[in-house]
Amino acid sequence: MKISDSLKTLVRRKTIVKSKDDIDSDKWSAKFELPKDYFLYIRSNSIIDKNYKSKHKLSTFVYTPNIMIKEQDALDVIGAFYNQNGIIRNPLVLLESTSSDS
């Protein structure tokens, strides 16, 4: 418990928005700017107005937890011409660098 209490002083909560240079994304993905003081991903939520259970938009926005996936699992869930309209119950997070610096 002491470790948890000590670590919580380091955890920050931020609302992030879609990146302005999101030109490389397809209709199934989006690029987001991480805060300047970003150090380590712990968890995140998405604010949604539609889900897989309804054909119509929801009357209010709801929060749903995101699921972190590994790079090697990305191909299993990325939409392609042979893999369309699969049900993904939670938004997925894949952290990768967009920097061209080595």
The amino acid at 25: S
29 pLDDT above the threshold of 60: yes
Element (H, E) at 93: strand 92-93
Residue 65 pairs with which residues in a beta bridge? Answer: 45
For the segment 38-76, what is each residue's pLDDT rounded down to a tens digit?
888 888 999 999 888 888 999 999 999 999 999 888 877
Short-list 65, 53, 94, CA closest to 77: 94
* Strand, helix or coil for residue 77: helix
- pLDDT of amino acid 6: 86
- pLDDT of amino acid 7: 84
Strands (E) located in 23-89 = 45-48, 62-65, 67-68
- pLDDT of amino acid 68: 92
Calpha distance 36→39 (Å, rounded): 9
The structure's pTM equals 0.69
